[in-house]
Amino acid sequence: MLKVSFIQRLVIFCKDSNYIAAYSELIYKKIKKAMQSFALSLVTLLHMTFNSDKVTMENHLQHNVIKRQKESEYRLIH
């Protein structure tokens, strides 16, 4: 059986720890990127939802204004 000294074990442990730390950092970066992408998608979706309601309401109000103008013009003509 091969004898491994304490120093050699320590060196191996440090190398393994560095690999684990590097791998953990890689996973963290991927998760962080995925979460940022998800957050951006969510913000975009909410923005579209609330702005579409706003646009719909503006269109509704504008339609009412045009309708009143046409009614007024009709009354003036007749």
Q: DSSP assignment of 16-45, as one string?
A: HHHHHHHHHHHHHHHHHHHHHHHHHHHHHH
Rounded average pLDDT over 38-45: 87
How many Å apart are CA 11 and CA 13, to the nearest integer? 5
Range of the domain at 14: 2-77
pLDDT > 70: percent of the chain: 85
Rounded average pLDDT over 1-7: 68
Residue 4 has pLDDT above 80, yes or no: no
State the total domains in the chain. 1
